[in-house]
Structures are given as C-alpha cells and as structure tokens.
C-alpha cells in the first residue's frame, strides 16, 4: 500500500472513530527502592510505582504489566503486584501478565512481599521495576 493510501486510511478510520489501537496505546516504566522483608507473617510493601505524568493517562486501561526484582540466590519470598486492593500473584522474580480489567494507567502500583512459611532470616529485595502497557478504554489489540 502506498504511503498516500495508508495516510488516507488512518484519517478515515479516525473520522469514523475506528482509529487503530496503536494510536491510543503507550507504556510507562517505574522503579522503586529496595525493601527488606524481615518479619514472618507481615506483608512488606514497596514504595508506589507510577507514571511520570499520571494526569495525562486518565481514562487509559492497563493491558499488560511486566515486572522484575532481584533476590539473593539462596532466598525466596512470596510476591504480588498490586493496584489498590487488587493483586496479581507473582510466581517468579520477572515476568509479564495481562492486567486485571480494573487497573488504570494513571494509578500507582506497588509490590507486596512476604517471607515463606518457616523462613526467619530477612531478605533484601532489590531492582524493583514495572513496565506498564496501556490503551484507551475499550480499544482492542491489533495483531
């Protein structure tokens, strides 16, 4: 398809309210300081992770979230990534998942960590990072 027709197609789609999802999509990255998980049975939360300018993201829905954190090689923790009271259970120190439908791109996320049953030694969790992919509410993925 020539560039002329591609531009024309996008303009017509926008006028008809059928703009490709890529025009309404984006992502943001945030990091949080290390946390020490020290008390068995007590959840330790990270600082909030949010977009640099969340007011520009109002009305955008999180479509997918990627995360990573580092643990000492001989240690483990139970981990979740949360927005408000809705959490995703994380089964590994890095990964990617489809986000809950209620997650909003303008709202902060945070990690929660818990020592596994029977573990008594404190664990320092470092390198906390999320990558949030979002889209306009109601936009579908174009593949």
pLDDT tens, residue by residue, 41-83: 999 999 999 999 999 999 999 999 999 999 999 899 999 999 9
Confidence of residue 143 (pLDDT cuts 50, 70, 90): very low
Confidence of residue 138 (pLDDT cuts 50, 70, 90): low
Report which of residues 8 and 49 the model is more confident about: 49
Phi, psi of 44 (to 5 degrees): -110, 125
Predicted pLDDT of residue 23: 45
Q: Is the pLDDT of residue 16 over 50?
A: no
Reported as a single tens digit per residue, the pLDDT across 95-120 is 999 999 999 999 999 999 999 988 88
Q: In Å, how far are 12, 102, 127 from 34, measured between CA atoms?
A: 49, 27, 7
Residue 43: strand, helix, or coil: coil
Confidence of residue 9 (pLDDT cuts 50, 70, 90): very low
- Which of 27-36, 72-81, 94-103, 132-141 is predicted with the least confidence, judged by mean pLDDT? 132-141
Residue in the block written with tokens 């240690």? 75
Predicted pLDDT of residue 15: 46
Q: In Å, how far are 13, 26, 43, 66, 135 from 20, measured between CA atoms?
A: 8, 13, 41, 23, 11
Q: Is the pLDDT of residue 13 over 50?
A: no
Return the sign of the alpha-carbon dihedral for residues 111, 27, 33, 106.
Answer: negative
């Amino acid at each position: 398809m020539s560039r002329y027709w591609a531009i024309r197609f996008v303009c017509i789609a926008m006028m008809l309210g059928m703009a490709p999802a890529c025009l309404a999509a984006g992502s943001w990255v945030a990091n949080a300081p290390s946390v020490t998980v020290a008390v068995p049975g007590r959840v330790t939360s990270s600082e909030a992770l949010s977009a640099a300018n969340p007011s520009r993201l109002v009305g955008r829905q999180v479509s997918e979230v990627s995360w990573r954190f580092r643990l000492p090689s001989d240690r483990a923790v139970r981990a979740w990534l949360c927005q408000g009271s809705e959490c995703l259970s994380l089964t590994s120190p890095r990964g990617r998942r489809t986000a809950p439908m209620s997650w909003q791109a303008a709202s902060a996320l945070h990690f929660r960590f818990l020592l596994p049953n029977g573990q008594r030694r404190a664990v320092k969790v470092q390198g906390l990072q999320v990558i949030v992919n979002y889209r306009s509410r109601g936009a579908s993925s174009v593949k």
